[in-house]
Every structure is written in C-alpha cells, then in structure tokens.
Structure 1
Amino acid sequence: MILETFNKNVRDCKSVTINTDFVIVGGGTAGVCAAITAARKGTKTILVQDRPVLGGNASSEVRLWILGATSHMGNNNRWAREGGVMDEILVENLYRNREGNAVIFDTVLLEKVLAEPNITLLLNTSVYDVTKSGDHKIESVKAFNSQNSTEYNINAPLFCDASGDGIVAFKAGASFRMGAETKEEFGEAFAPEKSYGELLGHSMYFYSKETEKPVKYIPPAYALKDITTIPRYKAIGKDDKGCRFWWFEYGGRHDTIHETEEIKYELWKVIYGVWDYIKNSRTFEGVENMTLEWVATVPGKRESRRFEGLYMMTQQDVIEQRKFDDAIAFGGWAIDLHPADGVYSELSGCTQWHSKGIYDIPYRSFVSKDIDNLFLAGRIISATHVAFGSTRVMATTGFCAQAVGMAASMCIDKNLKPAEILENGEIKNLQNELNKIGQSIPNVPILSTSNLVNQAKLTSSSTLSISEIPFNGNWFNLSISAAQMLPLKVNKNYKVRVLVKAEEKTDLKVELKTSIKPENYTPEVILESQLFNLEQGEQYIDVEFSNTLENNQYGFITFLSNEKISIKTSDNRFTGVLSVFNGVNKAVSNNGKQTPPDNIGVDTFEFWTPHRRPEGKNIAMEISPAIEAFEVENLSNGYVRPGKTVNAWVADINDKKPTLKIEWDSEQELSEIKLFLDSDYDHPMESTLMGHPEDIVPFCLGNYKIKDVNGTVLFEKEDNHQTINTWHFKQKHKTKGIIIETEKSQTHVPVSIFEILIS
C-alpha cells in the first residue's frame, strides 16, 4: 500500500534522464525507417512517438495506404517501389497481410522496431520542449508520457525531427514556412494562387460492414444535415470505405497545427452526415444490414510546417528530373495539390501532374540550415509547397529517412555534423552504404570495391535468352493499346512475330517506341510505324523494324487500339520484362495522356502502365535477334533492380535447379553474403485496404543453398519471401569459391537474382 499525506507543494512527476547517440521524434514511416537503419549500424537510438501505435497516417488510427513512386501502378515509373527498410516492411506486410488489415500492419511495424536491440521505443510520449547548448545546437528534448506519468529528458549529440508538424525544429528556432510560395520566388509555374488555397487539409475515414440483421442509424446532432453541401456527394458509394474517401478533406484555409481539433470536428460532421445519407436517404439499395464498424478519431494530416534545409526542392527538380551529386533517394509520386476548401470545394479533389520518370532527392534537403545537429525527415523536409506535393507521401518519406538514419550513424562514428557529410567525399560513402541495403539511388551503383564478386570468375548452369515468349496465354482484346517492353540493344534490327485474331477485315498499326532519356519508361519517341492489313480470323504477322535504338535501353513494341482485334498473350513472366497498356487509372489522374494547361511547367505525354497480376500478361511473340540481357555478369554490376536494362542474372526457364559458381584465384576470407532478389519493384504493395493477388511475389527466389567449393553447406533458405537475404559468418570463412544452388518453384517464371554482394 502507498499512502502519501497532503503536500502543500506541487508534486513532481517521475523523471527519467536518458543519454543516447541519436534521438528521432516521430514514429511514422519516416521515423521508423530512420530508426531501424541507424540501429542496424550500431547507433543507440531513441524513437519517440506521441501515439500508441507506429506508422502515423499508415497506422490503424488513420488507415491510409502507403504509396510512393509506384503511384498505384498508374504512372510511367517502372520498377520504382522504394527499397531498403521501406521495401522490407511492405514485403513482410504482403506476406502476412495481403488483405490490407491496418491492425495487422501495426504489428508488422512494431515487431520490426522491437527486434532492434539498439532502439529504445517510447510510445504515447509527446515531445514538448528542447534545450539548447548554443544558438545552433540542440542539447536535449523534453517529453511526457501520459500513460505512465513520466517525464523524459533525452540527451544526444544528434536529433531527427520526423514529427510531422516539426515540434523539435520549431522549438529549436529553425527557419520554416507554411503555405505556398509565389510563382516568382522559385520560378514555379504551378504555384497556386491564394484563391486556390495555400495548404492541404486533413482527412478522416470510416469503415462499414454487413451484419446479419437490419441495423438502424440515428445520426448525432452534429452530423451534416445537407449532403448537397458536398459538391462531390454523388461520388459516394455505399461500399466505399477507408482511404478510398481520401477526398474527405478539410482545413486548408485554417491553421493546420493549432486548429487541428476544430478541423477534426468538421470531418466528424462530414463522416456521420455521409453515413446518414447512405443509410437513410433511400438513395442506396441493400444498406439495411450495414453498420459503421470504425470511424477515425485522429485526422490524417497532409501539410503544416516545412523547414528550410541546405537546399530547397522545387517543381523544376521534380518535373525536369534534375540530377544531384548528393542524391540519396528518388521520388515519383505526382505533384499532388488539393483545393483548400477540400470536401466543400467545387474543384476537383486533387490536381496531379506527373513527371516522365523518377527524380533525385538530395541529402541537403534533410539537413537544417540553422541547427547544426538536426536532421529533417518526413513531410517537413526542405521543399517548396509545390515540390512537397510529391515528396510528402509515406513510401517516399520512409525511403528518404533511411538516408537520415545512415547519415546519423556515420556522424556518430566519425564525429561529424550532418552538413559535414557533404565534405571530403563522405557523401559517396553515404550513397554506397545506402545502396548496400537496397536504396537503389538512380545511376549510382554499389562501388565495385565493396564487392568481392568483382574479383571472381562467375559461371552459371544456364542463362535466359528470349527468342520466344511462348504463345500459351489467353487472348487480349485491343480495346486499348498494348505494348511489350523489352531490353533492347543498340544498333540491332529487331523482328517479331505475333499472333492476332480479327473479327473482320481491319488494320493493325504497330510502332517501335522508346524514351528520350534512356533511364525513363515514357515511350515518347516513335522510331518506326507500320500498318498491317488483317483478314478475318487468326493469323501471324511478322513485324521487321529497320530503325534501331541509339542506346541500350527499353523499347516498346506497341500495338495500337482496335477493338476488332485480339492479340495472343503468354503465361510466362520474366524478371525485367513486362507488358504495359495505354489505359486509364483515375486514382492518380491518369486518363491515358497527361495534357496540362499551358504555362504551368508540366510536360504532355502518354501513360503506358502495367496491369496488376494475374492480369498484365506478356504479349506472346517470337523475337529475332533474341533478347540477350540476362547474363551472369549482371550479378556484380552494382544495380539491384532494372534500370536501362534488366540488371539481373536470369536462368533458362527450363533449368529446374539453376546453379551459380563464384571462384577466386586465391583463398578469400568471407564475412557476409547478401543476395538481392526480385520482389517485383513494379508492384506498389499498398499497405492497407487495397488487397493483393498473392502473398509471395512469383519472381522471388524461395529455396536455395550456399556451399563452398568443397561442398560444405554454409547457409540454406526455404520459403523465402524477402527481397534482400543477408548471411553473416560467425567467424570469417576461408574459401576459394562458393556455389549457390537454387530451385525453380514457378512453372512459368525462371529463377533470377539481381546482385550478389560478398564482403
């Protein structure tokens, strides 16, 4: 029993002082990815999260799906899902939770964080103040946990603000902005006028479900009475739920920090009014047994403060795909701005303008220009309002924050300030360390000196050569144009034979297209166009192109739409080879072609996008000369996903037990072996609600053994589903070579590996 008598003084709460290497404030996707990355490099890290769960807007409290450069597979950014820890989390969630249950996703995030011994996690803990040891240096942060009534004083040499509203950077006095810049300040033609609004608002969602008997609904007094005050009310569907109602947005004309509670009440008013409309307006059939299952209690915030770093990203950086020497990640979501009036606006719920491909994101945008030991992460990084419209999305913020975690570890190890990473070649070291964990910084390979495979002789039991994509699939009707993407070689004249079926005499137009930039996948250049006169019925057509590519890059053999024609597809799938379609994806403002107004600084181009499995089959064809892009030398070229070419070794599809041998002239001491596998970087893997066609990507190598040349089994894996497999030797192993024995598990998919990294 505890008995304490009256005390005339104010009592103090329990107080705990913690000294650590690195403090991250904010446990959204950015904070989580930064913390895991830093911890795995040995950095003692405190992760402070003011909510009971991790994930921020992706958590079960808000339930927004995680997206980034893949953009629901609705843009031309092929193989663009974010790598590293962000990929690891999404792949694990796919394996455990392909249905997209937000509660299960909470457990995936929590498990990942708790598995790291170098992370101390403080949930339900709100940072409210900082102390400084000088004008430009933070000494500690102060936080309070209302659940255990404990105050924390956390001291560290380095801090990262990933809090969303930027509480640490704000309290520390760092320069920030709220609202949109003028067109003139950075020359951004898409900068919105004040009449459009300067801030993106908050959103809240609801889930409904079907029960076994009728359920009545009496709305609360504060529910919206007149549904017609929502201009888009006719877009409401009785079966829609969760973040499909992303456009339930409000607050863009308010202070999105200090008026958050008022914004929340308005969104509740909308939600309960919408449910009243669904249940009681007699507009919908079959709603008698439906009930509300969940309504958000926390709004998902889009925008508030943006802090100034050593560089501020702009619209031009995104649209023009500008290159940066200090690139540490890539983005690819559209510039996605919303009207300030949100759900009450007469305007479209969002205006999205895409670039032709992914773009670089520089390290400098994550380093405060004012506070020497402060990193920025999440949506508060140094970007204009327009560029923020792209960089703000969660897969991008998590991906970028991995660079912060890695940089923090380098700073601790070498006693550097964050800005000093830009000096003495340290940025190259940062880029290489990131790429070794799967970052895939555009046009920056893993350094050859990092990989013992570059000193070895590589041989394989077989290598894929595509002279035919077998004619074993179904028929695809060309009601929309279709194209086969292939990694083509420079100065080669390609010939293909395809099988088509015409309902009557008609014409088929076939084009060979490619991109202006070899690293892009926007087929904007027509190299050649041919017209074929078809008879009724099935027939082969031979297409021989006289024009050639100027670079080794992907080409598009396109078959233009004609609903009277169907084309034969294939059940065979290959790493780095896919079909794309000039269709429509309304979720990301893709109407088949981007046609922006004049003078907003955005390009006009067509969208050619894949279909989700099990659809989106390759187009069956014979190909001459054969596609030779899958050689074993790709295993050490430094790239761990397709780029200008496949960048993977792929075995022959008939090789059921492909084998790789890596041999050195002299004995080597091995510490680690890392395999980079194909988890289909083209698939977005939305974390919540969406649902996916499988729990293990069909390209991903599942079963393999690693032996030394003497036949000793070093490591063995069964039923793998992860992209990166890392094997550590307890003691350095001496050998002149290793053998990797793999097992083909998919009938129509050959074994593939992107990279083998041995140190």
Structure 2
Amino acid sequence: MDERIKRGMLEHHEYDFIVAGGGLAGVCCAISAARGGLRTAIIQNRPAFGGNSSSEIRIVPVGSVDFNSWTMESGIIGEILLEDRATNHEKFGDGAINTLYDLNLYQAILKEPNLTAYLDTQVNGVEVDPEAEGVSSELKAIYATQLGSGKAFKFTARQFADCTGDAELGFLAGAPYRYGREARSEFGELLAPVEADNHTMGSSITFYARNAGREVPFTAPAWAHRYETAEDVGIYRDINHIKHDRLAGFWWMELANPFHQVDDFGAMKHELLRYVLGYWDFLKNRSKYQETLSTYSIDWIGMYPGKRESRRLEGDVIVSERHIYEDPCWPDRVSTSGMFVDIHINGGLLNRTEPPELSNADANYKDYTLVAPYSIPLRSLYSRSIANLWMAGRNISVSRVALGSVRNQVILANIGQAVGTAAGYAIRHQISPREAADVSQGHIQAIQQQLLRDDVPIIGLKNEDKYDLAREATATASSEQTMYLNEPDENAMVPLDSTWAQVLPITSDRIDTVEFYVSNTSEETVSLKVSVYQLERIWDKGEGVPVGTAELLIPPLHTGWICAELNLRVAAGKPHRIALESHEHIAWAKSTEQATGTLAQYYVKCEGGPQPENKHYPSFQESELVIPPYERWNEIKRKRFSFAMNVHPCPAPYGGDQVVSGIARPIAMPGLWISDRASELPQHVALKWEEERTFNEVVVTFDTSLNQSYAYMPAFWKAPECVKDWRLWVYVHDEWKCVYEEHGNYHRKRSATFDTVTASAVKLEVLATNGDASARVYEMRVYCK
C-alpha cells in the first residue's frame, strides 16, 4: 500500500457511516443506516455477502425460533430471507445454500441508493486521533486494499461499525477486547471455568455430497487425515441423516485450540481440509455406511472456514450469563435473543472422548442451557474506548458464555439493524454512540420506537410513536377467530412421563372448565391434578403465580375428552399455564395446530450436576462448569407444539383490536387479528376515529409464520398465513374509496402510500392469502408524511 500512496494511487472516499464486514449483521447494519439517510459504505473482504451463511461457507442462518416459539426475527433480515425463500429453487436445510442466495443479498445492498459496496476489500490499517486518549479516542480513517484491482483506499467517516466477526477494526484501532474464556469469578458465571484461559469454540469447513446414481469410488489424497474406526472420529459424531439424495456435513467438524482462530487461520484451514477429506474417506471406504454411500460423491467442499468465536470488543456493558438467564430488560434495549447457550467443547475434533456439544449427551445440562428470550442493550454495541466505533456480529460486548447464546446469524442480523438505526440517529443528531444509549438524554427512546416501526422485536416495549394516527383509532373486524386447540391428533399422544403444560392467552376473568384429550392405558380410574398459573410472558420458565387446582378423573382404558371443573377467577389479558401432573398410564394428545401465541412446556427438576453416567467427562468437572440445582419449565427444541384442549369460556385473543395493541408479535397476548376461519374471504379490519384524520400512508404488518425457522423453509416458500392480495379503503364523504391495492405479496411488512386524504376511517380488506383460510394482520399504523 505504501508504494501506491507514493505514486498518488490511494483513492480517498468519505461517507457519513462505514460498516466493515459483510456478514448478515453487517448487511443489515449498512442497509438500516442507508435507509436512515446516511451516505453509507460497506466493506467486505470476500467476493459475496453473507459471511458464514454465504455459498462459500454454507452455515444455515438460524435464530431464536429454533429454541422458543413465536420468536422468528423480522425486520431487514426478514425481508431478505423471505425474498430468498420465495424465489430460490434450493432449500436451506442440509447446507444447500447456493449462489442465488449470494445474489439476493447483493441485490438487497444494491436497492439502497445511499449505500455503496466494496467487495473483495480487506481493511489493513486505521488512523486514530493522535491527540485523544482513553474514552475520547476517535477513529478517523481506515485503509483497505481491493483484491483483483490492487486499488488502495482511504475511507473517512463520522462513525464506523465493526462487523468483521474478528473485531479487526477495533483490534487495529487499539480498542480493548476479550479472547477466550473469562474466569468464573469475573461475572459469577456458572458455565465459565474457574481459571480464565484462551480456549475458544472452533471453526468448521462443511461439504456437500450428492447421490450420483452410480458407483463413485473415492481415494483420499495422501495428506488427508486417516480414520480407521468410528472411535477414531469420536463419540456422539455418528451420522444418522442419510435420508435423501444429498448429504451435508458436519457442524462438529471444527478445530479450536491449539489453533488461534485469527493468527493460525491458514494452518487451521489446511488441517480442517485434512480432517474433512479423511472423514469422507472413512465414510465411503471403512464405515458402516459404506454400502449406502457407494453412489455418493462430494460435489462441493468449503474452502473458507466458518468461525464461531474469536475477539469480542468491550463496551460500556458486557452481557454475561446472569443477564441471559435473568433478563434485566435494559432501559437501552434494542434487540432480542432466545438461543440456548450453545458452547462447544474445547478442542473440537481433537477432543474425541467428549460429545462435541454437551447437551447432546446430558439432559441436565441441556435443560439448564435453554433460556427464555432476553434483551440486548445498546451499551454492549459500541466500544468503551473508541468514541465513534459501533460493533455488531459475534464481536459484540458479551462474555464468552453469553456469546454462546447470541452468536447465531439471524439474531446478529437484528443486532446489526439496531446498530445501523442507532448510528443513523446519532449522526443526524451529532451525538456519540454513548450519548445515544444514555437514557437520561432521551435519545434511546426515539431509537427504540424507530426499531419497533422497522419491525425489530424488542421485549417489553410498545408502539408509542406520537406520529402514528392508528393509536387514536378504534379497531373492529368483520369476524374473528377464537382459540383453536380443539382438534386432537390421535396419532400424536404425548406420554405424561413428566408434568406437561399448555400455555395460552386468557381473555376472560374466569376459567370455569377445561377439557383435555387424553388416553388411559390403565384398567383403573386415574386421578390427575390440574394446576393453573398466571404468567407474564408465554416463555416464562419460572412457576408463575399459582391460581388454583382441580382434579381430572380419567376412566379405565379411556381415550377422548375429559372435563375438569375449575371455577377460577383469573386475570384477563394474561397468558396462563395449565398443567397436568405426570402419570405412567396417561398420554395427552397434541393439537393438530399450534395456535398462535400458545406453546407446550414440560417441567424439569434437577438436583444439580450432570447425569451420573456423564460425571467422568472433563468438561463436566467443577473446574470447568457448574450445573446448579434448578426447577423450570422448558420447551422442546425445534419440535414445538401445543396440546389439544378446550377452555371455557373460550379465549378470544385474536380480535380486531390487536392491530392497535402496540405489540406486533406474541409476547404475552398474540398481538394478532385472525378472521374466523369458517367465514370466507374477503374479510376486513377497520380503524375508525371520532374525528377525521389526514394521512397518506398506512403501514401493515402481516403474518409470515413467526413460528417457522428460515432454516427449514423449503424452496419457493411463501408463508401460507401471509396476506397475498389486499386493498385499502378510506371513508370520505359518506362512502368508501379504494386508495391502494396489492397482489402477490409474501412479505410481513408493507407500506402503502397514496394521495393525501382526510377521512374518518380506513379499512384493510384481505382478498386472498398464500394458503391459509383466515386473514391475519399483526399491526396497522397510519401516518401523514
């Protein structure tokens, strides 16, 4: 770079805001800032955007909904992934990410007129204000070189965001950072070791194999690692998913210590290739799957490792284990995570005697590491020492334990959007990141409201946008659906081997009776205790407030509905947990549908420590971690459902008033209008004011199945629940006038703009959905631009 500078070949570009790093966090950060009016640049050192999810690495983007019902991330990442799923011929699952996915990310960047992209451009230097010290230091410029062209750049901006994953920008600027594991005593983290060390989770190279339809021999290169037996590979590393004509592998093929995740990148890549090819050689030529895989051949192998962990920059707050288990609902909260604490064993592939992730082997550990959704504060998203440096992605200010619960890509994408929005606000108002997060200065409230408007979920915050005219309106609907858990699946009976419960919204001030669809294999009548608890959020893991109990008498050899008399006074507008105690002869039927805003939980009690058969593992020694005694209510990961039941009076949580409730997703109540499924479309929901209002924009939030992970959406997927064709009507001069119409929609957030009108009402008419029988709308907002 120096020679080019001498020759005057250094290009200088100036922007309001610069994002370094083009993973999903960086992409959403840059788009959000550009939409906020900032002249923004995104610098990516790879030829494609997407980071670990790109077709170079193929780590499927997942988020909170894989672990907690109704928590699919929305906002910009929702726009991008819903667009990809609707237009891409390949599914995500099994690592089938393709270059069309890369192109969709590229197009998302190109759509923004305020955003300039620099691909294949490596940041290799920074300029920090030489006269500033400590917290007043400022990043003035960054230097980069573009592969292919050899161009050298100097970028200047008012503020910067480090979304590089490795915290490369902060590292070069001298910002304080963490690497490895903190000592247990530093944050009081039970899942941390007694002594701090430099252990990290590893990096992985994946591959993709297809059934070629004929014999395909494989001879490993001489430099590949040699596996002779399954024991050589390691425990809990068997494959059991050769169910299709393609095979992707494998998340556990990772290398960590003694490799440094940054400094030893090249050597680690070579070793990973040795192990991946050696494992494929074993599968093809010496494993029990040899015959099954005889016609399979690798047609893609990653040449760029996907990293899980490296440097983490320090912010004004370091989110730790306590914060993810006991959500403080930070006053500066700007995003949410609901991922379990996913920490892999030390060494990765080099540690053959332990399961690659401990919850694969131990139920006590697994149940402890499941967490309810919790909030992320803005103070953990900027550097404590570089006054104009934000960060988003896996290099944010979290402890190593907390990193295990925020590091999934879709979660980080929402964090990236939050940073881009906050940076946009800060630059427009000429304040620092620290000032933007300071509750006493009043800026964070405006940032939070903008994030809610842009569909970033933030727990415990409601729409308080003073410009939203819908907040002053009364909402009514043509019809509404009542609670729908009354269709049992007799082929899906859940044995009550532990206490199970159904969580659902209650809209009346009483519960008279509850019917359960159960089976009794005993030849005697069984008496079961029914317990009811009031909750604050549908995912609550604590006991809640006990409301009352009743007895359920189940006749011998019975299968069908049984009614329990409760006659309880309850709090309307709160979620409640209705539990059946365990019994070896009783099973409870699943509902054919998991009604929106409902979920099933199981009760688990642990005396502390791992299961006895696992106490010998080094990772379960008290020097490494402590599993404390606990009692809690959990959901099953990835295979969630609700139970079949009838509550009387029947809850009616899906009324038209939900579109102006201020919360556009299930948290306590569903926050969703659903029309009566027995009534044919079209259906409508309307807002009416006592006096006329003047407006020219209506923002609508539809239902794109917040309980569906992007990772498992198939090719050409469009949420059946999502409104496809719709119209907007306004009531002027004593008649309804159509001002907007759209056909073929499959997105969650839609903005309808039209000529300014003065009207006493606005009506959203749903003409068709992408498959569901009901019209579904989470929110309506009305503005006059």
TM-score, normalising length: structure 2: 0.86
**Kindly tell me: are residues 562 and 112 of structure 1, through their superposed partners in 2, closer, same or farther at Cα, counting changes over 3 Å?**
farther
CA deviation vs aligned residue, 1:625-678 (integer Å, no higher than 9, x gap): 120222322221210101111112222222322222223344322132111122
Q: Residue 624 of structure 1 is aligned with which of 624, 648, 651?
A: 648
Preserved CA contact (<8 Å) 2:551 2:565: no
1:477 to 489, 493, 508: 493
CA separation in 2, counterparts of 1:139 and 1:10?
18
Counterpart-to-counterpart distance in 2, 1:287 and 1:354: 35
| Residue deviations 1:578-620 (CA, integer Å, cap 9, x gap) | 556789xxxxx99xxxxx98954684424234876xx94x544
For residues 489-541 of structure 1, give each alpha carbon's deviation from its aligned partner in whole angstroms, at most 9, with x where no partner exists. Answer: 47512412344455563537463444665453437457536342323354431
AA at the equivalent of 1:433: Q
Unmatched tracts of structure 2, length 5 or more: 360-367, 605-609, 612-619
2:450 corresponds to which residue?
433
Structure 2 residue 132 is matched with structure 1 residue 105? no
Residue among 451, 461, 464 paired with 2:481: 464
Pairing of 1:175-194 with structure 2 (within 5 A) = 175-193=176-194
Q: After superposition, where does 1:211-230 map in structure 2 within 5 Å?
A: 211-227=212-228, 228-230=231-233
Distance (whole Å) between structure 2 residues aligned to residue 304 and residue 316 of structure 1: 22
The match for 2:743 is 718
Q: Could you say which residue in structure 2 is the equivalent of 1:753? A: 777
Determine the structure 2 residue equivalent to 1:139.
140
- Does the aligned pair in 2 maintain the 1:86–1:395 contact within 8 Å? yes
Which shows bigger deviation, 484-493 or 701-710?
Answer: 484-493
- RMSD after superposition: 3.1
1:308 corresponds, among 305, 309, 314, to: 314
More divergent stretch after superposition (677-686 vs 600-609): 600-609
Give, in whole Å, the separation in 1 of the partners of 2:4 and 2:466.
65
Aligned to 1:41: 36
* SS in structure 1 of the partner of residue 349 of structure 2: helix
Residue of 758, 765, 768 corresponding to 1:741: 765
Corresponding residue of 1:701? 723
Contact 1:140 1:156 (C-alpha < 8 Å) held by counterparts: yes
1:274 maps to a residue whose letter is Y
Distance in structure 2 (CA, Å) of the matches to 1:638 and 1:448 = 9
1:357-408 CA-to-partner distances (Å, cap 9, x unmatched) read 1111100011111111110111111111111121222112111111110011
C-alpha distance after superposition, 1:124-183 (max 9, x if no partner): 111111122343111211111112221121111111010111121111111112111111
Distance, in Å, in 2 between the alignment partners of 1:748 and 1:451 is 29
Aligned partners of 2:599, 2:339: CA distance in 1, in Å? Answer: 21
Q: Name the SS of the counterpart of 2:476 in structure 1.
A: strand
Equivalent residue for 2:557?
536
Aligned twin of 1:364? 379
**Residue correspondence of structure 1 range 642-681 to structure 2 within 5 A:** 642-656=666-680, 657-681=682-706
Q: Which residue identity does 1:732 align to in structure 2?
A: T
Contact 1:26-1:49 within 8 A present in 2 as well: yes
Deviation at 1:108, TM superposition (A): 2.3
Shift, 1:111, TM fit:
1.8
Of the structure 1 ranges 697-706 and 480-489, higher mean CA displacement relative to structure 2 is found in 480-489
- The 3 A distance-change label for structure 1 pair 620 and 24 is same
1:91 Cα deviation from its structure 2 partner: 2.3
- Aligned partner of 1:683 in structure 2 is 708
Deviation, structure 1 residue 223: 1.0
More deviation in 521-530 or 314-323?
Answer: 521-530
Among candidates 459, 465, 479, match of residue 442 of structure 1? 459
Shift of 1:325: 0.5
Give the AA of the match of 1:453.
A
Change (3 A) 1:747 1:371: closer
Secondary structure at the aligned position of 2:171 is classed as helix
Matches within 5 A, 1:168-179: 168-179=169-180
Alignment correspondent of 2:258: 253
1:334 corresponds to? 340
Aligned pair partner of 2:530 in 491, 497, 511 = 511
Matched, 1:262 2:281: no
CA contact (8 A) 1:677 1:700 kept: yes
Output aligned runs, 1:33-112, within 5 Å.
33-70=28-65, 72=66, 75=67, 77-97=68-88, 99-100=91-92, 101-103=96-98, 104-112=100-108
Aligned length: 730
SS in 1 for 2:455: coil
Is the CA contact (8 Å cut-off) linking 2:536 and 2:668 kept in structure 1? no
Distance in 1 of aligned mates of 2:540 and 2:716? 26
Q: Quote the Cα distance in structure 2 between the aligned partners of 1:150 and 1:324.
A: 44
Instruction: Tell me, in whole angstroms, the C-alpha distance in 2 between the residues paired with 1:82 and 1:108.
Output: 18
Q: Could you tell me which amino acid in structure 1 is paired with residue 140 of structure 2?
A: E
Shift of 1:63: 0.9
Q: Tell me: CA distance 1:732–1:409, structure 2 relative to 1, closer, same or farther (3 Å).
A: farther
Q: TM-score, normalised by structure 1?
A: 0.89
What CA deviation, in whole Å up to 9, does each residue of 1:285-304 have, x standing for no partner? 22221111111100111111
> Which residue is 1:4 aligned to?
none
Query: What is the CA distance between 1:473 and its match in structure 2?
Result: 5.4
Partner amino acid, structure 2, of 1:722: H
- 2: CA distance between counterparts of 1:602 and 1:53? 46
CA distance in 1, matches of 2:392, 2:684: 43
Rounded to whole Å, the distance in 2 between the matches of 1:524 and 1:163 is 41
Tell me the distance in 2 between the aligned counterparts of 1:242 and 1:113.
31
Residues 494 and 590 in structure 2, CA contact (< 8 A), matched pair in contact too: no
Partner-residue secondary structure (3-state), 1:291: strand
| Distance in 1, Cα, partners of 2:237 & 2:660 | 55
Pairing 1:608-619 to 2, within 5 Å after superposition: 608-609=635-636, 616=641, 619=643
Partner of 1:575: 596
Moved more, 450-459 or 516-525: 516-525
2:694 aligned counterpart, secondary structure: strand
**SS across alignment from 2:345:** coil
Q: Tell me: CA distance 1:390–1:431, structure 2 relative to 1, closer, same or farther (3 Å).
A: same
Taking the aligned partners of 1:9 and 1:619, their CA distance within structure 2 comes to 68
Kept in 2, the 8 Å contact 1:476–1:566? The answer is no
**Please, which moves more after superposition, 513-522 or 259-268?**
513-522
Contact map agreement 1:510 1:559 (CA 8 A) in 2: yes
Report Cα offsets for 1:35-57 as digits up to 9, x if no partner.
11111122111011000111111
Identify if the C-alpha distance between structure 1 residues 602 and 721 changes in structure 2 by more than 3 Å, giving closer, same or farther. farther
Please give the alpha-carbon distance, in whole angstroms, between the structure 2 residues aligned to 1:669 and 1:703.
25
Separation in structure 1 between the aligned mates of residue 45 and residue 560 of structure 2, nearest angstrom: 65
Alpha-carbon distance in 2 for matches of 1:706, 1:756: 11
Equivalent of 1:495 in 500, 513, 518: 513
Q: Give the SS at the match of 2:425.
A: helix
Aligned AA (2:778): F
Change in 2 beyond 3 A, CA 1:251/1:469: closer
Tell me if the contact between 1:573 and 1:748 (Cα under 8 Å) persists in the aligned partners. no
Unaligned runs of 5+ in 1: 1-7, 584-588, 591-595
Q: Write the distance in 1 (CA, Å) between the matches of 2:486 and 2:773.
A: 12
Q: Is the 8 A contact 1:514 1:555 kept in 2?
A: yes
Alignment check: 8 A CA contact 1:78 1:521 kept? no
Q: Distance in 2 between matches of 1:549 and 1:253?
A: 57
Cα 1:294–1:510 shift into 2, 3 Å: farther
Structure-1 residue corresponding to 2:541 = 522
- Partner Cα separation in structure 2 for residue 95 and residue 512 of structure 1: 43
Distance across 2 between alignment mates of 1:13 and 1:406? 36
Q: For the residues of structure 2 that align with 1:210 and 1:221, how far apart are their CA atoms?
A: 25
Q: Distance in 1 between matches of 2:719 and 2:581?
A: 30
Number of the residue aligned with 1:586? none
